[in-house]
Protein backbone atom coordinates (compact mmCIF):
# COMPACT_ATOMS: atom_id res chain seq x y z
CA UNK A 1 0.00 0.00 0.00
CA UNK A 2 1.10 3.54 -0.60
CA UNK A 3 0.39 6.79 1.20
CA UNK A 4 1.15 10.50 0.95
CA UNK A 5 1.57 13.07 3.70
CA UNK A 6 1.48 16.77 2.92
CA UNK A 7 2.78 18.87 5.78
CA UNK A 8 0.66 21.94 6.35
CA UNK A 9 -2.92 22.22 5.18
CA UNK A 10 -2.33 25.95 4.63
CA UNK A 11 0.88 27.73 3.63
CA UNK A 12 1.13 31.51 3.38
CA UNK A 13 3.97 33.33 1.62
CA UNK A 14 4.55 36.87 0.45
CA UNK A 15 4.53 37.71 -3.22
CA UNK A 16 8.09 37.28 -4.53
CA UNK A 17 9.11 34.91 -1.73
CA UNK A 18 10.15 31.28 -2.03
CA UNK A 19 7.35 28.72 -2.18
CA UNK A 20 8.01 25.37 -0.49
CA UNK A 21 5.26 22.76 -0.24
CA UNK A 22 6.22 19.54 1.49
CA UNK A 23 5.30 16.02 0.46
CA UNK A 24 6.45 12.73 1.96
CA UNK A 25 5.38 9.37 0.58
CA UNK A 26 5.33 5.76 1.56
CA UNK A 27 5.62 3.08 -1.09
CA UNK A 28 6.84 -0.50 -1.14
CA UNK A 29 8.18 -0.11 -4.68
CA UNK A 30 9.95 2.69 -6.55
CA UNK A 31 7.10 5.08 -7.13
CA UNK A 32 5.90 7.55 -9.69
CA UNK A 33 5.22 10.91 -8.03
CA UNK A 34 3.03 13.79 -9.12
CA UNK A 35 2.07 17.30 -8.14
CA UNK A 36 -1.31 18.62 -9.22
CA UNK A 37 -2.73 22.13 -8.85
CA UNK A 38 -6.39 23.05 -8.44
CA UNK A 39 -7.39 26.65 -9.06
CA UNK A 40 -10.68 27.85 -7.57
CA UNK A 41 -13.73 26.22 -9.16
CA UNK A 42 -11.63 24.14 -11.52
CA UNK A 43 -10.45 20.56 -11.90
CA UNK A 44 -6.96 19.27 -11.17
CA UNK A 45 -4.13 20.08 -13.55
CA UNK A 46 -0.78 18.30 -13.65
CA UNK A 47 2.14 20.50 -12.55
CA UNK A 48 4.91 17.94 -12.88
CA UNK A 49 5.72 14.26 -12.50
CA UNK A 50 8.64 12.06 -11.53
CA UNK A 51 8.96 8.74 -13.34
CA UNK A 52 12.46 7.51 -12.34
CA UNK A 53 14.47 9.65 -14.73
CA UNK A 54 16.11 12.86 -13.44
CA UNK A 55 15.53 13.44 -9.74
CA UNK A 56 14.98 17.17 -10.25
CA UNK A 57 11.79 17.66 -12.20
CA UNK A 58 10.73 20.93 -13.77
CA UNK A 59 7.07 21.67 -14.30
CA UNK A 60 4.82 24.40 -15.56
CA UNK A 61 4.61 27.95 -14.19
CA UNK A 62 8.16 27.88 -12.80
CA UNK A 63 7.59 25.06 -10.31
CA UNK A 64 10.02 22.23 -9.72
CA UNK A 65 10.33 19.28 -7.36
CA UNK A 66 13.17 17.06 -6.23
CA UNK A 67 12.83 13.35 -5.59
CA UNK A 68 14.89 12.33 -2.54
CA UNK A 69 14.74 8.61 -2.03
CA UNK A 70 16.64 8.65 1.28
CA UNK A 71 14.11 11.10 2.72
CA UNK A 72 11.09 9.65 0.87
CA UNK A 73 10.25 13.21 -0.10
CA UNK A 74 9.09 15.08 -3.17
CA UNK A 75 8.84 18.72 -2.10
CA UNK A 76 7.54 21.34 -4.52
CA UNK A 77 9.33 24.68 -4.86
CA UNK A 78 9.14 27.92 -6.78
CA UNK A 79 11.76 30.65 -6.33
CA UNK A 80 9.40 33.61 -6.47
CA UNK A 81 5.68 33.43 -5.68
CA UNK A 82 3.15 35.21 -7.83
CA UNK A 83 -0.40 36.13 -6.89
CA UNK A 84 -1.67 33.75 -9.57
CA UNK A 85 -0.07 30.81 -7.70
CA UNK A 86 -2.78 30.94 -5.06
CA UNK A 87 -4.46 27.53 -5.31
CA UNK A 88 -4.77 24.07 -3.76
CA UNK A 89 -1.83 21.75 -4.40
CA UNK A 90 -1.97 17.97 -4.23
CA UNK A 91 0.88 15.49 -4.11
CA UNK A 92 0.16 11.98 -5.41
CA UNK A 93 2.00 8.66 -5.61
CA UNK A 94 1.47 5.59 -7.76
CA UNK A 95 2.93 2.14 -8.20
CA UNK A 96 4.14 2.02 -11.82
CA UNK A 97 4.49 -1.76 -11.79
CA UNK A 98 0.74 -2.07 -11.71
CA UNK A 99 1.08 -4.78 -9.11
CA UNK A 100 -1.45 -3.13 -6.86
CA UNK A 101 -4.78 -1.70 -7.89
CA UNK A 102 -4.27 1.57 -6.09
CA UNK A 103 -3.89 3.87 -9.06
CA UNK A 104 -3.01 7.32 -7.73
CA UNK A 105 -3.05 7.94 -3.99
CA UNK A 106 -3.44 11.63 -3.13
CA UNK A 107 -2.38 13.67 -0.15
CA UNK A 108 -4.96 15.84 1.57
CA UNK A 109 -3.78 18.98 -0.16
CA UNK A 110 -2.07 22.23 0.78
CA UNK A 111 -3.81 25.54 0.28
CA UNK A 112 -1.25 28.13 -0.87
CA UNK A 113 -2.01 31.71 0.09
CA UNK A 114 -0.06 34.56 -1.46
CA UNK A 115 0.17 37.77 0.56
CA UNK A 116 0.60 40.99 -1.44
CA UNK B 1 -8.95 18.82 -27.93
CA UNK B 2 -8.07 16.01 -25.50
CA UNK B 3 -10.39 16.25 -22.55
CA UNK B 4 -12.54 14.65 -19.90
CA UNK B 5 -16.09 15.98 -19.72
CA UNK B 6 -18.59 15.66 -16.92
CA UNK B 7 -22.28 16.51 -16.75
CA UNK B 8 -23.92 18.13 -15.01
CA UNK B 9 -21.48 20.58 -13.46
CA UNK B 10 -23.88 21.49 -10.67
CA UNK B 11 -26.76 19.47 -9.27
CA UNK B 12 -29.10 19.98 -6.34
CA UNK B 13 -31.37 17.06 -5.53
CA UNK B 14 -33.33 15.53 -2.68
CA UNK B 15 -32.71 12.44 -0.62
CA UNK B 16 -33.61 9.22 -2.38
CA UNK B 17 -33.96 10.56 -5.91
CA UNK B 18 -31.76 8.50 -8.23
CA UNK B 19 -29.22 10.43 -10.27
CA UNK B 20 -26.44 9.81 -12.76
CA UNK B 21 -23.34 11.89 -13.39
CA UNK B 22 -21.86 11.24 -16.80
CA UNK B 23 -18.17 11.15 -17.66
CA UNK B 24 -16.62 10.87 -21.08
CA UNK B 25 -13.03 10.97 -22.36
CA UNK B 26 -11.76 11.27 -25.92
CA UNK B 27 -8.19 10.06 -25.39
CA UNK B 28 -8.80 6.32 -25.76
CA UNK B 29 -7.67 5.78 -22.17
CA UNK B 30 -7.97 2.33 -20.60
CA UNK B 31 -8.19 3.49 -16.99
CA UNK B 32 -10.97 5.67 -15.59
CA UNK B 33 -11.77 6.65 -12.05
CA UNK B 34 -14.19 8.60 -9.87
CA UNK B 35 -13.14 10.66 -6.85
CA UNK B 36 -14.94 12.77 -4.32
CA UNK B 37 -13.31 15.81 -2.78
CA UNK B 38 -14.27 17.01 0.69
CA UNK B 39 -12.66 19.77 2.79
CA UNK B 40 -9.76 18.46 4.85
CA UNK B 41 -9.98 14.99 3.30
CA UNK B 42 -8.44 15.58 -0.12
CA UNK B 43 -9.48 13.28 -2.96
CA UNK B 44 -10.81 9.85 -2.19
CA UNK B 45 -11.34 7.26 -4.86
CA UNK B 46 -14.87 5.90 -5.21
CA UNK B 47 -14.60 3.40 -8.08
CA UNK B 48 -12.22 2.73 -10.91
CA UNK B 49 -12.22 0.80 -14.16
CA UNK B 50 -9.27 -0.77 -15.90
CA UNK B 51 -11.13 -1.52 -19.12
CA UNK B 52 -14.57 -2.12 -20.61
CA UNK B 53 -16.73 -4.24 -18.28
CA UNK B 54 -13.96 -4.22 -15.63
CA UNK B 55 -14.73 -2.12 -12.56
CA UNK B 56 -13.66 -2.26 -8.93
CA UNK B 57 -14.20 -0.48 -5.65
CA UNK B 58 -11.97 2.29 -4.45
CA UNK B 59 -11.72 3.61 -0.91
CA UNK B 60 -15.27 4.94 -0.47
CA UNK B 61 -17.66 2.94 -2.70
CA UNK B 62 -20.69 2.74 -0.41
CA UNK B 63 -23.80 4.27 -1.96
CA UNK B 64 -22.37 4.46 -5.48
CA UNK B 65 -22.48 2.35 -8.62
CA UNK B 66 -20.61 2.61 -11.91
CA UNK B 67 -20.64 0.95 -15.30
CA UNK B 68 -18.18 0.76 -18.18
CA UNK B 69 -20.03 -0.45 -21.25
CA UNK B 70 -17.93 1.63 -23.62
CA UNK B 71 -14.31 2.64 -23.35
CA UNK B 72 -14.99 6.36 -23.45
CA UNK B 73 -17.82 6.54 -20.88
CA UNK B 74 -17.84 5.89 -17.14
CA UNK B 75 -21.05 7.11 -15.47
CA UNK B 76 -21.43 7.41 -11.70
CA UNK B 77 -24.82 6.36 -10.35
CA UNK B 78 -26.33 7.25 -6.99
CA UNK B 79 -29.36 4.98 -6.59
CA UNK B 80 -30.63 6.63 -3.40
CA UNK B 81 -28.62 9.76 -2.61
CA UNK B 82 -28.21 10.89 0.98
CA UNK B 83 -26.99 14.21 2.42
CA UNK B 84 -23.57 12.72 3.28
CA UNK B 85 -22.98 12.36 -0.45
CA UNK B 86 -22.99 16.12 -0.85
CA UNK B 87 -19.54 16.70 -2.31
CA UNK B 88 -17.44 17.72 -5.30
CA UNK B 89 -16.97 14.82 -7.70
CA UNK B 90 -14.21 14.36 -10.25
CA UNK B 91 -13.84 11.88 -13.07
CA UNK B 92 -10.34 11.09 -14.31
CA UNK B 93 -8.70 8.94 -16.95
CA UNK B 94 -5.22 7.72 -17.87
CA UNK B 95 -3.47 5.42 -20.29
CA UNK B 96 -2.41 3.06 -17.56
CA UNK B 97 -3.07 2.36 -13.90
CA UNK B 98 -0.16 4.28 -12.39
CA UNK B 99 0.15 6.98 -15.00
CA UNK B 100 -0.70 10.66 -14.98
CA UNK B 101 -4.46 11.15 -14.71
CA UNK B 102 -6.46 13.71 -16.66
CA UNK B 103 -9.31 15.23 -14.69
CA UNK B 104 -12.72 16.49 -15.64
CA UNK B 105 -13.95 19.91 -14.44
CA UNK B 106 -15.91 18.48 -11.52
CA UNK B 107 -19.56 18.11 -10.52
CA UNK B 108 -20.77 19.85 -7.40
CA UNK B 109 -23.59 17.79 -5.91
CA UNK B 110 -25.87 18.89 -3.09
CA UNK B 111 -28.31 16.40 -1.58
CA UNK B 112 -30.99 18.00 0.57
Q: pLDDT per position in chain B (112 positions), as tens?
A: 889 999 999 999 999 999 999 999 999 999 999 999 998 888 999 999 989 999 999 889 999 999 999 999 999 999 999 999 999 999 999 988 778 899 999 999 999 9
pLDDT at residue A100 is higher than 90: no
pLDDT for res A97: 61
Say whether A103 and B48 touch across the interface (CB within 8 A).
Answer: yes
Sign of the dihedral defined by the CA atoms of residues B95, B97, B98, B101, in that order: positive
Calculate how close chain A gets to B19, using CA atoms only, in Å: 21
Confidence of residue A31 (pLDDT cuts 50, 70, 90): confident
pLDDT at A96 over 70: no
Q: How far apart are CA B86 and CA A97, in angstroms?
A: 35
Contact, B83 vs B17, CB < 8 A?
Answer: no
CB contacts < 8 A (A, B): 58
d(CA B85, CA B72) in angstroms, rounded, equals 25
Contact (CB<8Å) A42/B106: yes
Q: Which of B39, B90, B98 to mutate to test the interface with A (most CBs of A within 10 A)?
A: B98
| Shortest Cα–Cα distance, B105 to chain A (Å) | 4
Which candidate, A74, A108, A6, A34, places its Cα nearest to that of B100? A34
| pLDDT tens profile A37-95 | 999 888 899 999 998 778 899 999 999 999 998 999 999 999 999 999 999 999 998 87
B96 touches A: beta carbon within 8 Å: yes
Q: What are the two backbone dihedrals, phi and then psi, of residue B84, each rounded to the nearest 5 degrees?
A: -75, 0
Q: What pLDDT, on the 0 to 100 scale, is given for residue B52?
A: 93
Encode A74-113: b = buried (16+ Cβ within 10 Å), e = exposed. bbbebeebeeebbbbbbbbbbbbeeebebbbbbbbbbbbe
Which pLDDT does position A101 carry in this prediction? Answer: 52
- pLDDT band, very low/low/confident/very high, at A102 (cuts 50, 70, 90): low
Separation CA A71–CA A53 (nearest Å): 18
Query: Nearest chain A Cα to B58, which residue?
Result: A102
Output the pLDDT for position A104: 82
Residue A8 has pLDDT above 50, yes or no: yes
Neighbouring-strand partners of residue A46: A36
Is residue B74 within 8 angstroms of chain A, CB to CB? Answer: no
B contact test, residue of A2, A35, A44 with most B CBs within 10 A: A44
Provide the shortest C-alpha distance from residue B58 to chain A (in Å). 8
So what's the pLDDT on residue B55?
A: 93
- C-beta neighbour count of A22 within 10 angstroms: 17
Q: Are A9 and A112 in contact (CB under 8 A)?
A: no
Q: Tell me whether B99 touches chain A (CB under 8 Å).
A: yes
Q: Which of B18, B19, B77 has the alpha carbon at shortest distance from B46? A: B77
Question: Phi-psi region for residue B62, left (φ > 0), alpha (ψ -120 to 50) or beta?
Answer: beta
- Within a 13 Å sphere around the CA of A98, how many CA atoms are in the beta-carbon half? 6
Amino acid sequence: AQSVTQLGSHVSVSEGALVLLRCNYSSSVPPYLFWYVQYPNQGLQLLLKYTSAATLVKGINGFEAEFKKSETSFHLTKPSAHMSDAAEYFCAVSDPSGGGADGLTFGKGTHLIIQP
Amino acid sequence: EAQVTQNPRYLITVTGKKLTVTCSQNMNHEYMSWYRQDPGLGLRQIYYSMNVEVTDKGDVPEGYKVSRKEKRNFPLILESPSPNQTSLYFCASSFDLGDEQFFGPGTRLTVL
